[in-house]
Chains A and B, each alone.
Chain A
């Protein structure tokens, strides 16, 4: 019997274009930033509203809203978005994600509002909200635990969402949710740190910042290991998986991987912090450059996985 196949299709070659990568990026930052700040709060048993928590609250709420905007604008008709909120298919990863986001988005707003209630009280227009905020603040601890779980779920969900696509060997791997959690944590932490220092008066060398700086390197090491596992999974896979390893060595997307994901995400932060001397590493410039490059590296990772992933099919 002869094998039979066709290579032309009826739809576009890339079903999910760059707005989806931007959405994956924003969702990762949102979940990562909030998870890091809440973990810090729980670990340090904090009771005051720290600049990091305020920053993370603002960052996660703003980024998840921007992410939702990307998602809705990428629909074939953005006015159809209500259908996703009305109909559910519990076999679908996307449907489960909608349920998670339905709780996560309001909770980020609540967490941010509680942490910032001192600042919000300065606006006379928001006066009627204050008694409600006080009531919510009384239930703060359980709300924070719930949000922590949901924040990690959102990071993981973006991975599950695309790993469910069976025809793409690079992204159809159970590693993806884990990779997205760690890369979300590192970029989210970088973003929250920068906002905390820039707008919420956190000192560059406070105890919290030092703790975060220390935690970032192990997180990055785990991320690098996951990337290596993704690559080895392809090498030791079947024919189409092996063919997909070309994504790492040929074409424009491979330069995005080596320049963006590895260069900006790993090499540049290491250089900035260890190669140029202690004095520079402790400067504000190094702090913002490192944070920026880690965040760009994470965006490149999402873009690379989405595009290179969709090019190499079974």
Chain B
């Protein structure tokens, strides 16, 4: 029988380890299991909203007019009517920041879960959520289920689509996603977070990163470096 003290000690150490594991769950390297864990890091402090990423994506994935796999949402910190925190004027165009809107590549993806035909699926080799257009019946269950509203029907093929890190267009050829390769401001970093030597893993280790709606438990693979302003 175990002495009570060492049992309690063991329990204590165990729970500390569990807690540490739990806290570190935003660190993708820690939660990675088998295989690669591809992540995309969007640096809000570097993005100027030029839109090159959007154009590159549309071109690389042959998207028809009017639909997009990614977009930039323009946001502002300013309270309407108050002075701009950058230039001090009340009327200006300089207080703006951009947020990348695209498939969050959830580890626990609601779209894959609900898809009745298995058209929305996780690629076995890369773990990336992508689409088998031949199986998609166009029921839009995945669009309704996605908590990020980033799935859409391609107006040409009539099947659902999402950003899959260019898995089907470029990744297979060993190229970077189109948006990443076209970003002139290094605002996008793509890589395998389960490889501790990769640039993205090292960035995630040192930068203050966030994910969108992490409380939903979807474990998104898109990470953001938000513009952090000191509280006034």
Q: Which residues of A contact B (CB under 8 A)?
A: 1-13, 15-16, 74-77, 80-81, 83-84, 86-89, 91-95, 98, 162, 164-167, 310, 313-314
Contacts and interface: CB of A to CB of B under 8 A. Distances in A.
B144 A16 contact: yes
Contacts of A80: 136-138, 158-159
Nearest to A5: B212
A16 B114 CA distance: 14
Contact of A75 (B101, B115, B139): B139
Q: Which 9 A-B pairs have the closest CB atoms?
A: A9-B149, A76-B138, A15-B144, A87-B117, A94-B116, A11-B152, A167-B147, A77-B158, A83-B137
Interface in B47-81: 67-71, 73, 75
B210 A88 contact: no
28 contacts: A1-B210, A2-B228, A4-B211, A4-B224, A8-B101, A8-B149, A9-B150, A10-B67, A10-B149, A12-B143, A76-B153, A80-B136, A80-B138, A80-B158, A83-B119, A83-B136, A84-B117, A87-B119, A88-B116, A89-B117, A92-B116, A92-B141, A94-B141, A95-B117, A162-B144, A164-B113, A166-B110, A166-B216
Contact of B137 (A84, A93, A162, A164): A84
B188 to A, nearest CB: 15
Interface centre among A4, A91, A95, A310 (most CB of B within 10 A): A4
B12 interface: no
Interface residues of B, number: 51
B44 interface: yes
B212 A4 contact: yes
A6 B212 contact: yes
Nearest to A306: B144
Interface in B99-140: 99-102, 110, 113-119, 135-140
B99 A6 contact: yes
A81 B227 CA distance: 46
A92 B113 contact: yes
Contacts of B140: 15-16, 74, 76
Given A10-B149, A11-B151, A84 B139 contact: yes
B206 to A, nearest CB: 14
Nearest to B135: A87
B interface, over-half SS: loop
B199 interface: no
A93 B139 CA distance: 13
A98 B210 contact: no
B184 interface: no
A14 to B, nearest CB: 9
A91 B110 CA distance: 11
B114 to A, nearest CB: 5
Contact of B101 (A6, A81, A93): A6
A83 B117 contact: yes
Contact of B151 (A10, A77, A89, A165): A10
A164 to B, nearest CB: 6
A91 B137 contact: no
B124 to A, nearest CB: 15
A221 B138 CA distance: 38
A93 B148 CA distance: 20
Interface in B19-62: 44
A310 B144 CA distance: 8
B222 to A, nearest CB: 10
A165 B144 contact: yes
A13 B143 CA distance: 10
B158 A11 contact: no
A92 B117 CA distance: 8
B141 A10 contact: no
A91 B121 CA distance: 12
Contact of A15 (B73, B119, B143, B216): B143
A201 B110 CA distance: 50
